[in-house]
Amino acid sequence: TREIHLASRPTGWPTEDNFAVVTTELPALSAGQVLVRNVFMSVDPYMRPRMNDVKSYVPPFQVGEPLDGGAVGEVVESQVDGLTPGDLVVHGLGWREHAVLDNPRKLDPVPGVSVSHYLGVLGTTGLTAYVGLLDIAGFRPGDAVFVSGAAGAVGSVAGQIARLRGASRVVGSAGSPEKVALLTERLGFDAAFDYHEGHLYRQLSAAAPDGIDVYFDNVGGDHLEAAIGALHDYGRVALCGSISAYNAAEAPPGPRNLGLAVGKRLTLRGFIVTDHGDRFRDMAREVGGWLASGELVAEETVVEGGLDAAVTAFLGMLRGENTGKMIVHFD
């Protein structure tokens, strides 16, 4: 079987040369284990900072070792009661064609729901959006909400949850005119803008002329600065990610107007989704309900080609080639 290793640590933007496809032998199965063939795998922004040799909330990837990440696998061989070949499991050993799993979690997909959504809107992506907006930013009906990275996986769900939970206005930023059109025409955002097209604070003020109560931050840097400028007193920010800095060779400066947070009595709160597994059921019930009723659109970009397409898909996601969740499909 084959898997993808980190061949070298990227400096700045990663390239195909930082990765290597390696052929390996599968270990024999022990009691309690299953062998799966991966069907879908996730490529995520957080994988980029994990390629740096720095201490963080997850240990860094190691040079010469396989990468890992969210995946859905189909059981090929099983030493676990209740799991038989053909069953699906959600697990953390993506970036490889086959995986031997110790504590497999069986997936019982709801009929009519694409299996890939369990890596997106009905998985970690959905939970991140749900917890970030409702628990971390303390969203309340009537809030005006700004979401950056709004056409991406987390952003597209966060903005839709805000709309469905009764936001007074939902504004999004994204990286192309097509994405802006997706936000306003398909996902129900009240206004959206392309952050390449001008001064961020001015664009945000035009899209949210009465200001904002909540900012869902996927981007950091200049987006966070613009949001601090637009937030009302007692405004709340969920610090979800800072993708604008992930490929920077040197850390960019922080928001220059952070001092405004004092007078505005702002709350800026970071979070990591894996601490919030206790909210998974609530998310699955509410988001699953909106998905079933058609009120929430599960946007995703599925790249065909399995392992051979995985690195290209990952690099493409960092450059913004995805709308919604970026997923790799194995044939």
d(CA 4, CA 47): 13
Among 128, 224, 296, 328, binds ligand NDP (CB under 6 A): 128
Q: Read off the tokens for 49.
A: 């900072």
Q: Which stretch binds ligand NDP (CB under 6 A): 79-87, 91-99, 107-115, 240-248?
A: 240-248
Q: Are 41 and 94 in contact (CB under 8 A)?
A: yes
- Output the CA angle 242-53-39, nearest 5 degrees: 70
d(CA 321, CA 303): 11
- Site membership for ligand NDP, residue 272 (CB under 6 A): yes
188 strand-pairing partners? none
Site string for ligand NDP, 9-48 (x = CB under 6 A): -----------------------------------xxx--
Phi/psi for 183 (5° steps) reads -65, -45
Among 14, 152, 159, 235, binds ligand NDP (CB under 6 A): 152
Nearer to ligand NDP, 231 or 318 (CB): 318
d(CA 28, CA 16): 31
Phi/psi for 267 (5° steps) reads -115, 120
Among 88, 219, 296, 315, binds ligand NDP (CB under 6 A): 219
Q: Which stretch binds ligand NDP (CB under 6 A): 23-31, 83-91, 147-155, 202-210?
A: 147-155
Q: Min. distance of Cβ 22 from ligand NDP in angstroms? A: 26
Q: What is the DSSP letter of 87?
A: -
- Site membership for ligand NDP, residue 161 (CB under 6 A): no
Q: Min. distance of Cβ 322 from ligand NDP in angstroms? A: 5
Nearer to ligand NDP, 109 or 320 (CB): 320
- Site membership for ligand NDP, residue 120 (CB under 6 A): no
d(CA 116, CA 40): 6
Q: Are 314 and 15 in contact (CB under 8 A)?
A: no
Nearer to ligand NDP, 97 or 299 (CB): 299
What's the sign of the alpha-carbon dihedral 224, 230, 233, 235? negative
Within 68-107, the residues that bind ligand NDP by CB under 6 A are none
Q: Min. distance of Cβ 316 from ligand NDP in angstroms? A: 9
Contacts of 150 (CB under 8 A, 6+ apart): 156, 158, 159, 172, 173, 174, 179, 183, 189, 192, 218
Contact set with ligand NDP (CB under 6 A): 44-46, 128, 149, 151-155, 174-176, 179, 218-219, 240-241, 243-244, 271-273, 317, 320, 322, 326
